[in-house]
Amino acid sequence: MRISGSTALVTGANRGIGLRFARQLLERGAKKVYAAARNPEHVDVPGVEALRLDITDPASVEAAAAVAGDVTLLINNAGISTGTNLIAGDLATIRLEMETHYYGTLAMVRAFAPILGRNGGGAVLNVLSALSWFSHDGANAYSAAKAAEWSLTNGVRLELRGQGTLVTGLHLGAAATDMMAGYEGEMIDPEDVARAALDGIEADELEVVVDEWSAKVKAALAADPARFYGR
């Protein structure tokens, strides 16, 4: 998969990591970049084609696929973080996390898989998280949704292998974006996140683990869960 000459669609491209994806794709020679957002008037990247898209709305996903039939690279970046727990948290908000990260991503892959197949295979990148691999009190709905999206990523990779579509999962810790406003820990530059992800796609990597923290979390999955959760 080569970025130069590709036609890419980035969800959630109006800010944060999505904005960096849109810029770097153009810098790397992408032929066209669809910068998708619920409010495309907020997309401020010269050279992209702004596209209205709400990944939780099936009709919106279908409309986007009808417009962007030339896509060869799909970047599923759109997401939310509601700071909701599973027991006492509002059930509708928990469902929204799952609707966005799991069902929204699935809707995009299902809609664009035939397009990618017709255009030679191409690639899908799903923006996941270190929280795909562990839970954190105060963000358990997010962790559950990202864990589901991680499993989805592995599953659709198997299903799309026959048409030559690369499916890559991107894992990272906290990035310095609007979504992480108020977070006081160490944060990654979102430019570095987009760069690592696009490098990984061009190297045909199935998984990109951006930072040392995420790598340690993944390695800990084989260890005693008391490392995170106690007894």
Q: What is the CATH number of the domain that holds 221?
A: 3.40.50.720
Is 184 part of a structural domain of the chain?
A: yes
Residue 192 within a domain: yes
In a domain, 182, yes or no: yes
pLDDT interval class at 188 (50, 70, 90): confident
d(CA 183, CA 166): 33
Distance CA 129, CA 123 (A): 19
Higher pLDDT, 230 or 220: 220
Domain-located, residue 1: no
- Residues 100, 95: Cα–Cα separation, whole Å: 8
Written as six digits, the tokens of 105 are 């991503």
Return d(Cα 126, Cα 205) in angstroms, integer: 12
Within a domain: residue 193?
A: yes
pTM: 0.94
- Average pLDDT of the chain? 94
Judge contact between 10 and 36, C-beta under 8 A.
yes
Instruction: Tell me the residue ranges of DSSP E strands in the chain.
Output: 7-10, 32-37, 49-52, 73-76, 123-127, 166-171, 207-209
pLDDT at 230 over 80: no
According to the model, what pLDDT value does residue 183 have? 56
Q: How much is the pLDDT for 177?
A: 60
Any domain includes 2: no
* pLDDT for position 184: 59
Do the domain assignments include residue 36?
Answer: yes
Give me the number of domains the chain comprises: 1
- CA distance linking residue 75 with residue 18, whole number of Å: 9
Q: Scanning the structure block, which residue is given the tokens 């509708």?
A: 92
pLDDT score recorded for residue 107: 98
- Domain of residue 103 covers 7-229
The reported pLDDT for the residue numbered 35 is: 98
Instruction: Report the pLDDT value the prediction gives residue 214, as an integer from 0 to 100.
Output: 93
Under the banding of pLDDT at 50, 70 and 90, the label for residue 180 is low
Q: Does residue 65 fall inside a structural domain?
A: yes
